[in-house]
Structures are given as C-alpha cells and as structure tokens.
Chains A and B, each alone.
Chain A
Amino acid sequence: GESVGLHLPTLSVQEGDNSIINCAYSNSASDYFIWYKQESGKGPQFIIDIRSNMDKRQGQRVTVLLNKTVKHLSLQIAATQPGDSAVYFCAENTNAGKSTFGDGTTLTVKP
C-alpha cells in the first residue's frame, strides 16, 4: 500500500546551522503535502504545506521543496534554534482528505 517514509530517523545540528529533513512518498496521486512538528506529549503542529503543482514554498525560516519526479519532499529550517528540537513528520493527503504520516525524524539542536 501507499506509504510515506523518512530517510533518517534522527538529525543532530548545531544551533544556528540550517537543518534539512527529508521524506519519501510513494503515492504519486497525492496532491497535498504537509510538514508537522510534534513536541513530546503534544499533538502535531502545522509547519508548512505545499500542493503538487508547486516545487517550493517558503515560510518564516522554513522552506519545503517538492520533487515529484522522485517523489521526495524536504523541509529546510534556517538558523535552527533549540526550540526547533522536536519530531518532524511529513504527511500526504489523499482526495478523501486523510493524512498518511511518515515515520518521523527527531531533530536535536545542540547549543
């Protein structure tokens, strides 16, 4: 079945550096993708989304890149801060509006 997965389970970066979190998806029919941040014991928090008719979308300190050719999604966080430490999930939405979540990458920011 379709799945969304992440390449690396953990990522450790130095404060101030840029972070890149990757995600591979398998459903070529997916047309909407979202990145979520989840802190321990809390629900997912929306970070940024992108539709399949776009290659790149920028937010505040975050950029999402979508490569439909290889079914790859990435989240770039600029000037990573300790408050960015969390688990990051990518998710893809089907036409029914259901979200399929990837496995998650734990980002640790070292001071």
Chain B
Amino acid sequence: GAVVSQHPSRVICKSGTSVKIECRSLDFQATTMFWYRQFPKQSLMLMATSNEGSKATYEQGVEKDKFLINHASLTLSTLTVTSAHPEDSSFYICSARDPRLAGGNEQFFGPGTRLTVL
C-alpha cells in the first residue's frame, strides 16, 4: 500500500517550452503533497507544499510563477515547469502524506521524473 507514481519518468524538452509532471497517490488520499528537486550528487530540496484544494506554499527562492503547482484532487498533484531552461534540468520528486497513515508524519515518495532541457 501507499504507492505514489509519477509521470513521465523521463522527459527531454527544448528550452522555452513548458513541461507538466504528474504525481498520483494510487491507493490512499494525499491531503498533502510535496515537490522536491534534486541535482546530481546533492540532497533533496523542498520546492513547495500543496494541500488539496489550496494554493501551494513555496519555499524561499522558488519562483511560484515558474513552477506551477496544482493539487486539484486528493490523488493528483501536478508540477508545471514553465519556459524551461537548461538550468531547470534536474530530478523532480514528489511525495504524499495522508494523516491517517503511518502515524500521519510519513511521506511516501514517487519514483522521480528526470527533466532534461536542451
């Protein structure tokens, strides 16, 4: 149980285009979803926290107009990288939390999406 999927797993796009990444909780209701970015050989950096039906809360230094997050249902959150540039190339990972699962604190992570911007 508590499986999180991401789609696509890998995407290559041209500079200036927008890319949408989906994060789904398959067998539980994710009241909260988190989006992380991970550069090679570095740790996960939290980008934003989204609660279903609410606007996402972005971490300091993360441009909300560039990284659009939508959490319209309890099982789906999307991250759209707008006008992507090569420096946006990274590994994007989502996680989901259901306060009714595992004591409420545990986050269940997706497999990640590798974005390469040419």
Contacts and interface: CB of A to CB of B under 8 A. Distances in A.
Given A43-B109, A44-B93, A93-B105, A99 B114 contact: no
Contacts of A45: 109
Contacts of B67: none
Interface residues of A, number: 21
B107 interface: yes
B71 to A, nearest CB: 14
- Select the residue from A98, A99, A100 with max chain B CB neighbours within 10 A: A99
Contacts of B93: 43-44
Nearest to B9: A41
B54 interface: no
Interface in A36-53: 36, 41-46, 49
Interface string B89-108: 00101010100000011111
A23 to B, nearest CB: 12
User: Which size bracket describes the interface of B in this complex?
Assistant: 20 to 34
Contact of B46 (A46, A100, A102, A103): A100
Contacts of A101: 43-46
A97 interface: yes
A43 B111 contact: yes
B34 A98 contact: yes
A81 to B, nearest CB: 22
B90 to A, nearest CB: 13
A46 B106 contact: yes
B109 A44 contact: yes
